[in-house]
């Protein structure tokens, strides 16, 4: 299992039984054999959301506020736990083994049971996260291309990356957990009818833009290493997909930030478009 030399792990204060019992070989084998089933889930997802939109056309919207609060609180708790359990390994590797190791050596799943378990949970979570769109459809809120494009690509990419044990996933996973911790907490407050300050929304968007920019930078650096034949445990296909995804997300979030917080001379049409984009962008799950 461990192609690379064993590295030191952070000194965890406590290990849960489900973490200490985690066996990467088993989950890797399952994902290698089943990751392509994600295409079937995507097909079902597209059928449900667009069929649901058609079904809801002449029906009153569902409020679902209590369920929405519970949903966001659940995802916020999950993200906070994921961030707390993966950040120690991430910072430990950066501090003791350097940037190259953090991007190119997949010890976070092959050698660290805690980080490995939460990498597995992160990958699987992209399937139930499709449920976000169900709330949009049933509450008759705007469903634009960006929202379902994002969910589809993140699910497919995450499952492929786990099957390939892509090393750069360490960065993508930790960034996602951290941003989602704040983002879902914000959604939960909004669902409970609290009114967080506008500055908090701006901070979340800025973090999302930063996440996409870092993703692009990592992908470009990895591509350079691959072209130079430097050992880096990432396939050229995986790296190309990551670069396309992160760049497209970066452009969309920059546009969102501009129209939401900076632009002052917008036409009525632009205002309507921006509102739709804002909702879909902020409800999208970034990788």
Distance CA 256, CA 48 (A): 27
Phi–psi pair at 68, nearest 5 degrees: -65, -40
Residues 6+ apart with CB under 8 A from 40: none
| Residue position matching structure tokens 């499709």 | 130
DSSP code of 187?
H
Token pair for residue 63? 């409020």
Token pair for residue 89? 């390994």
How far, in Å, are 98, 129, 150 from residue 42 at the CA level?
37, 12, 11
Work out the number of other CB atoms within 10 angstroms of the CB of residue 176. Answer: 26
Distance CA 87, CA 82 (A): 8
- Residues annotated as catalytic are 150
Q: 92-101: long-range contacts (C-beta < 8 A, 24 or more apart)? A: 92/8, 92/9, 92/10, 93/7, 93/170, 96/7, 96/8, 97/7, 101/7
Distance CA 223, CA 232 (A): 10
End-to-end CA separation in angstroms for the chain: 26
């Amino acid at each position: 299992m461990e192609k690379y030399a064993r590295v030191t792990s952070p000194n965890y204060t406590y290990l849960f039984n489900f973490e200490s019992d985690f066996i990467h070989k088993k989950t890797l084998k399952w994902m290698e054999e089943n990751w392509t089933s994600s295409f079937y889930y995507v097909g079902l997802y597209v059928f449900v959301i667009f069929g649901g939109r058609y079904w809801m056309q002449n029906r009153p919207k569902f409020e679902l506020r209590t369920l929405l609060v519970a949903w966001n609180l659940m995802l916020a708790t999950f993200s906070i736990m994921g961030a707390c359990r993966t950040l120690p390994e991430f910072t430990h590797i950066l501090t003791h083994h350097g940037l190259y190791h953090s991007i190119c050596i997949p010890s976070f799943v092959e050698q660290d049971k805690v980080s490995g378990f939460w990498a597995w949970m992160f990958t699987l979570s992209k399937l139930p996260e499709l449920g976000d769109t169900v709330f949009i459809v049933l509450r008759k809120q705007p469903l634009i291309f960006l929202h379902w494009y994002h969910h589809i690509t993140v699910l497919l990419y995450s499952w492929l990356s786990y099957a390939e044990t892509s090393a750069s996933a360490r960065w993508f996973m930790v960034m996602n957990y951290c941003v989602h911790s704040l983002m879902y907490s914000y959604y939960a407050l909004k669902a409970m009818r609290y009114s967080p300050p506008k500055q908090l929304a701006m901070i979340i968007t800025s973090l999302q833009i930063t996440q996409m920019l870092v993703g692009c930078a990592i992908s470009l650096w990895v591509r350079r290493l691959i072209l130079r034949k430097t050992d880096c445990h990432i396939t050229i296909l995986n790296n190309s997909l990551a670069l396309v995804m992160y760049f497209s997300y970066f452009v969309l979030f920059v546009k969102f930030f501009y129209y939401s917080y900076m632009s002052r001379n917008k036409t009525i049409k632009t205002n309507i478009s921006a509102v739709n984009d804002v909702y879909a962008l902020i409800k999208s799950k970034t990788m």
